[in-house]
Homo-oligomer: A and B are copies of this chain.
Amino acid sequence: MPKLNAAELEGVIVEGFPDLRDDAWRIEEVQDNFVRLRMPFHRSNLRPGGTISGPALMELADVAMYAAVLAMIGPVMLAVTTSLNINFMRKAEQVDVIAECRLLKLGNRLAVGEVAMRADGDEGMVAHATLTYSIPPKDQRPA
């Protein structure tokens, strides 16, 4: 069962990514090994041509994975990304982007998850990422 709810997760993310705008992401749903985030549209996420930029989507994937891991293990600041693989598939224009992260493995030291990103209201994926996170062993996590 998740140890943190949506509001608690938003607080943890603000601590973990302190340079963000306050409204950069919203947690919409938290389930076992799953979170859904919304990245509200903001002009600073556009690249020339008016589509959501690659780095904005990479960061969204990283935040979604961070949220999914911390939801399950608690607010452990030592959880760090060890790898990210992302494929960009469709352009997203001036819309919110929805990211759904599923944990595929939550081991003793390593978590693996995938993140599907879609333009709000669309079925087709804008981007898909797979990430690995290094996490502290169980005996070093919050109870």
Q: Which residues of A pack against B, CB within 8 Å?
A: 15-19, 44-45, 47-49, 53-55, 58-59, 62, 77, 80-90, 104-105, 107, 109-110, 112, 114, 124-125, 128, 130, 132
Contacts and interface: CB of A to CB of B under 8 A. Distances in A.
Closest 7 CB pairs of A and B: A55-B59, A89-B105, A85-B85, A54-B81, A19-B44, A58-B58, A83-B87
Copies of this chain, whole number:
4
A48 B87 CA distance: 27
A121 to B, nearest CB: 18
Given A55-B55, A83-B85, A112-B128, 12 more contacts: A16-B47, A16-B48, A19-B44, A58-B84, A83-B83, A85-B130, A87-B104, A87-B112, A87-B132, A104-B128, A114-B114, A128-B130
